[in-house]
């Protein structure tokens, strides 16, 4: 009696599990499609002629695949996207490299060295982490224009180096690793700079890599500040450049999507190769922040 | 004696040399503007014509609080738009990522792949995502209206009429940033010890009961954290309205129906030549944001 009544229950429990699994996959796939469709639409549009954009029926795969949109914006003096690409790369690489150097130096000092005023200065830095960025918009713009750095890459690189996040991040890391190696090196007569370069920095490689990815993305994707400071077409970076592109043509969506593809592809490639690492970095730094 | 004092001095100077490079940039671009922003807000100031600078005292602030003045209407309209955006977007930016994180926290194949896909838009810039969605929402040739028409729905002018213009910005923002919140939720979910669920299962709790009595309480700190950072991020909304709707449609009383406060400051100080007034607006917005963060911080502390 009991065995008989149990049997159908087991089967229905199994069915329920399969049904649940099916439901979960269904939701996951629908959301994944919603995420991917706009990107595919961008790609598809970028290969279409203008005459194919406003047809009665929509073609996801262009009837005629054309590279015209790309060639048109690449060597166009009013929207020199190739030049903007080089500008973006230059700014992002220099900003990231400079940050790694100055933030790891400062982070190491706040973590490992004792000096008068250390805690006071560091607490002051920490407090500014809570200040909203909007406060600095106008005054920094005035400073940059007074220093003659409008339409100059220094005008975007220098203010970015003031950020406290990297210093805080590196200090946290140096605090988390054991001191013994450094103390042994000090006994052997190494000075602070030697200890920092030869012992602390090699240990900090994972933290430096995380910081590099975060800062490169931030610099590459910077929109507002670059828009304000780099007005001249010859010094623009890609992000404000996209706005220039949008304003330069009417209804030329193929051209604009080609521009968007050129801006998006480097970070998407970076993401595909470093996907797990990027997600992990964001999750851990997000939780700490 | 001299050697000792020399060595002592040398030891003392090294740490300062380590922090100096960062400190210089910090002082110039975070320390100094903290005060100069306030200072500028007391002037009529245009960076293109510094010779025309005029001390106006509190006038820039008075304009923002004088009911009926153009600046008053435009500024407080933009605050209202920002709050509307917060109310429209934050619930979705909490619930959707939480739901996705819970689905991805189950033991099924392929969760890593889906996590990677959902997070992907976050690495794109706001200019890229704005451009893509601007094109999707176009009335002429836009993807959305094409399919809406195909299944017999109305085809509104998404980018220039209300409430649709606000909806376009909310949709683009959710698509762009939901992966970030999801990843943080997922990390928090994975930190909940499994024994809790096992014990509850033995006690006969079903999955809904486990969700309400274990997941939600364990997740509470992260939940509050996500809500706060999402609201703060919403205050910085600028690129999407700038590129998708340009603040349109215009309000009958003044200001734009999708012109949030950052766009207002941008227009005031960098499109129009009123940097003093823009600085005053920034000060007020910063105070609002700091009061908000501080209150939350206090509430947080009390709960702990």
Indicate whether A55 belongs to any domain. yes
* Domains contained in chain B, CATH given: 2-40 (no CATH), 70-303 (1.10.3720.10)
Tens of pLDDT, residues B215-262? 888 888 889 889 988 998 999 999 999 999 998 888 888 888 999 999
Peptide linkage before B163 cis (omega within 30 of 0): yes
Inter-chain CB proximity B143 and A41 less than 8 Å: yes
Pair A175, A210 in one domain = yes
Indicate whether A133 belongs to any domain. yes
Nearest to B278 by CA among B45, B50, B29, B17: B45
Pair A59, A81 in one domain = no
What is the band of B46 on the pLDDT scale with cuts at 50, 70, 90? confident
Is residue B1 predicted with pLDDT exceeding 50? no
Residue B54 has phi, psi (to 5 degrees) of -135, 130
Tens of pLDDT, residues A247-283? 888 888 999 999 999 999 999 999 999 888 888 887 7
Pair A205, A107 in one domain = yes
| B208 interfacial to chain A (CB closer than 8 Å) | no
Indicate whether A147 belongs to any domain. yes
Inter-chain CB proximity B123 and A217 less than 8 Å: yes
Range of the domain at A116: 77-248
Q: At A210, which CATH number? A: 1.10.3720.10
| B188 interfacial to chain A (CB closer than 8 Å) | yes
Indicate whether A71 belongs to any domain. no
Q: Which residues contact B184 (CB under 8 A, 6 or more apart)?
A: A282, A283, A286, A287, B97, B222, B225, B226
Is residue B40 predicted with pLDDT exceeding 50? yes
Peptide linkage before B149 cis (omega within 30 of 0): no
Inter-chain CB proximity B18 and A113 less than 8 Å: yes
Inter-chain CB proximity A105 and B18 less than 8 Å: yes
Pair A109, A209 in one domain = yes
Indicate whether A220 belongs to any domain. yes
Contact predicate B178/B97, CB 8 Å: yes
Closest chain B C-alpha to A4 CA, distance in angstroms? 23
Best of B14, B30, B136 to disrupt the A interface (most A CBs within 10 Å) is B30
Among the partner residues B36, B136, B186, nearest to A41 by beta-carbon distance: B136
Q: Which chain B residue is nearest to residue A59, measuring alpha carbons?
A: B143
Among the partner residues A109, A133, A257, nearest to B236 by beta-carbon distance: A133
Per-residue model confidence (pLDDT) at position A289: 39
Is residue A1 predicted with pLDDT exceeding 50? no
Pair A61, A135 in one domain = no
Is residue B295 predicted with pLDDT exceeding 90? no
Residues 113 to 142 of B: which have CB under 8 A from any A CB? 114-128, 131-136, 138, 140-141
Indicate whether A259 belongs to any domain. no
pLDDT, chain A, mean: 88
Pair A88, A176 in one domain = yes
Closest chain B C-alpha to A105 CA, distance in angstroms? 5
Pair A184, A144 in one domain = yes
Which chain B residues contact residue A239 at CB under 8 A?
125-127
* Residue ending a domain, choose from A20, A40, A65: A65
Indicate whether A267 belongs to any domain. no
Best of B26, B133, B151, B229 to disrupt the A interface (most A CBs within 10 Å) is B26
Q: Which chain B residue is nearest to residue A146, measuring alpha carbons?
A: B47
Total domains in chain A come to: 2
Tens of pLDDT, residues A6-37? 555 556 777 888 888 888 999 999 999 999 99
Which chain B residues contact residue A121 at CB under 8 A?
19, 23
Query: Which spans in chain A are helix H?
Result: 2-46, 68-74, 81-112, 118-128, 134-146, 154-161, 165-176, 180-187, 192-195, 201-203, 205-221, 224-229, 238-248, 253-273, 275-288
Which chain A residues contact residue B119 at CB under 8 A?
275, 278-279, 282
* Residue ending a domain, choose from A65, A85, A107: A65
Residue A4's Cα: distance from chain center in Å?
60
B45-51: which pairs have CB atoms within 8 A and are 24 or more residues apart?
B45/A142, B45/B274, B45/B275, B45/B276, B45/B279, B46/B273, B46/B274, B46/B275, B47/A141, B47/A142, B47/A145, B47/B273, B47/B275, B48/B273, B49/B273
Looking at mean pLDDT, say which of A238-252, B75-89, B282-296 comes out highest.
B75-89
Among A3-17, A44-58, A108-122, name the one with the lowest average pLDDT: A3-17
Query: ipTM of the predicted structure?
Result: 0.88
How many percent of chain B have pLDDT more than 70? 95
Tens of pLDDT, residues A180-218? 888 888 888 888 888 999 889 999 999 999 899 889 999
Among A54-63, B99-108, B258-267, name the one with the lowest average pLDDT: A54-63
Query: Could you tell me how many CB contacts below 8 A there are between chain A and chain B?
Result: 261
Q: Which residues contact A47 (CB under 8 A, 6 or more apart)?
A: A62, A65, A66, A67, A69, A254
Q: Which residue has the higher pLDDT, B98 or A279?
A: B98
Q: Which residues contact B76 (CB under 8 A, 6 or more apart)?
A: B64
Q: What is the mean pLDDT of residues B58-83?
A: 91
Q: What is the mean pLDDT of residues A86-112?
A: 95
Indicate whether A285 belongs to any domain. no
- Cβ-in-10-Å burial (0-12, 13-18, 19+) of A120 comes to exposed
Tens of pLDDT, residues B201-223? 888 888 888 888 888 888 888 89
| B260 interfacial to chain A (CB closer than 8 Å) | no
Inter-chain CB proximity B30 and A136 less than 8 Å: yes
Is residue A80 predicted with pLDDT exceeding 80? yes
Is residue B93 predicted with pLDDT exceeding 60? yes
Pair A118, A20 in one domain = no
Q: How many CB atoms lie within 10 A of CB B221?
A: 14
Inter-chain CB proximity A131 and B121 less than 8 Å: no
Among A139-143, A283-287, B50-54, B82-86, name the one with the lowest average pLDDT: A283-287
pLDDT, chain B, mean: 89
Inter-chain CB proximity B125 and A220 less than 8 Å: yes
| B65 interfacial to chain A (CB closer than 8 Å) | no
| H or E segment and range at residue B279 | helix B275-303
Tens of pLDDT, residues A211-252? 998 899 999 999 999 999 999 989 999 999 999 999 888 888
Rounded-to-integer distance, Cα A203 and Cα A284, Å: 19
Pair A125, A57 in one domain = no
Q: Which residue has the higher pLDDT, B150 or B130?
A: B130
Q: Which chain A residue is nearest to residue B48, measuring alpha carbons?
A: A145
| B159 interfacial to chain A (CB closer than 8 Å) | no
Pair A40, A99 in one domain = no
Q: Which chain A residue is nearest to residue B269, measuring alpha carbons?
A: A138
Pair A167, A214 in one domain = yes
Pair A32, A83 in one domain = no
SS (H, E, C) B1-50: CHHHHHHHHHHHHHHHHHHHHHHHHHHHHHHHHHHHHHHHCCEECCCCCH
């Amino acid at each position: 009696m009991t065995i008989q009544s149990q049997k159908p229950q087991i089967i229905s429990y199994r069915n329920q599990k399969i049904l649940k699994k099916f439901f979960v996959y269904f939701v996951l796939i629908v959301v994944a499609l919603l995420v991917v469709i706009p990107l595919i639409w961008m790609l598809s549009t970028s290969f279409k002629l203008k005459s194919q954009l406003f047809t009665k029926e929509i073609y996801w795969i262009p009837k005629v695949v054309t590279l015209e949109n790309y060639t048109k914006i690449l060597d166009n003096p009013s929207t020199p996207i190739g030049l903007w690409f080089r500008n973006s790369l230059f700014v992002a690489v220099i900003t990231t490299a400079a940050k790694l150097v100055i933030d790891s130096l400062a982070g190491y000092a706040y973590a490992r060295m004792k000096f008068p005023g250390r805690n006071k200065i560091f607490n002051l830095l920490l407090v500014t982490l809570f200040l909203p960025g909007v406060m600095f918009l106008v005054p920094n713009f005035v400073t940059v224009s007074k220093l003659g750095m409008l339409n100059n890459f220094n005008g975007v690189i220098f203010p970015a180096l003031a950020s406290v996040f990297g210093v805080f991040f590196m200090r946290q890391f140096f605090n988390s690793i054991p001191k013994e190696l450094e103390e042994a090196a000090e006994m052997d007569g190494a000075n602070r700079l030697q200890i920092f370069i030869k012992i602390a920095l090699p240990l900090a490689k994972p933290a430096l890599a995380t910081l590099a990815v975060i800062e490169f993305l931030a610099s590459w994707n910077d929109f507002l500040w670059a828009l304000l400071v780099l007005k001249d077409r010859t010094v623009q970076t890609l992000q404000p450049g996209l706005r220039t592109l949008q304003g330069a043509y009417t209804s030329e969506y193929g051209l604009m999507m080609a521009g968007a593809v050129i801006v998006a592809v480097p970070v998407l490639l970076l993401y595909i190769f470093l996907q797990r690492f990027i997600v992990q970095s964001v999750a851990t730094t997000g939780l700490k922040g | 004696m001299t050697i000792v004092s020399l060595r002592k001095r040398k030891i003392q100077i090294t740490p300062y040399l380590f922090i100096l490079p960062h400190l210089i940039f910090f002082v110039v671009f975070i320390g100094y503007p903290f005060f100069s922003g306030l200072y500028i807000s007391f002037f009529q100031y245009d960076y293109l014509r510094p010779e025309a600078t005029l001390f106006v005292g509190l006038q820039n602030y008075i304009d923002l609080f004088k009911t009926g003045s153009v600046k008053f209407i435009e500024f407080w309209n933009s605050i209202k738009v920002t709050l509307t955006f917060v109310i429209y977007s934050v619930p979705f930016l909490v619930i959707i990522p939480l739901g996705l994180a819970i689905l991805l926290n189950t033991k099924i194949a392929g969760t890593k792949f889906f996590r990677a896909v959902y997070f992907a838009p976050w690495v794109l810039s706001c200019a890229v995502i704005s451009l893509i969605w601007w094109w999707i929402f176009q009335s002429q040739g836009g993807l959305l209206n094409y399919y809406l028409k195909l299944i017999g729905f109305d085809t509104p002018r998404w980018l220039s009429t209300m409430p649709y213009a606000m909806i376009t910005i909310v949709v683009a923002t959710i698509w762009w940033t939901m992966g970030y919140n999801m990843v943080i939720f997922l990390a928090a979910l994975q930190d909940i010890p499994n024994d809790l669920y096992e014990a509850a299962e033995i006690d006969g709790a079903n999955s809904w009961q486990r969700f309400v009595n274990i997941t939600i309480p364990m997740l509470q700190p992260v939940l509050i954290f996500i809500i706060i950072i999402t609201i703060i991020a919403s205050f910085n909304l600028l690129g999407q309205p700038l590129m998708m709707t340009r603040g349109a449609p215009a309000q009958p009383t003044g200001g734009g129906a999708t012109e949030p406060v950052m766009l207002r400051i941008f227009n005031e100080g960098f499109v129009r030549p009123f940097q003093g007034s823009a600085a005053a607006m920034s000060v007020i917005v910063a105070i609002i944001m700091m009061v908000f963060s501080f209150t939350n911080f206090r509430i947080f502390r009390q709960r702990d």
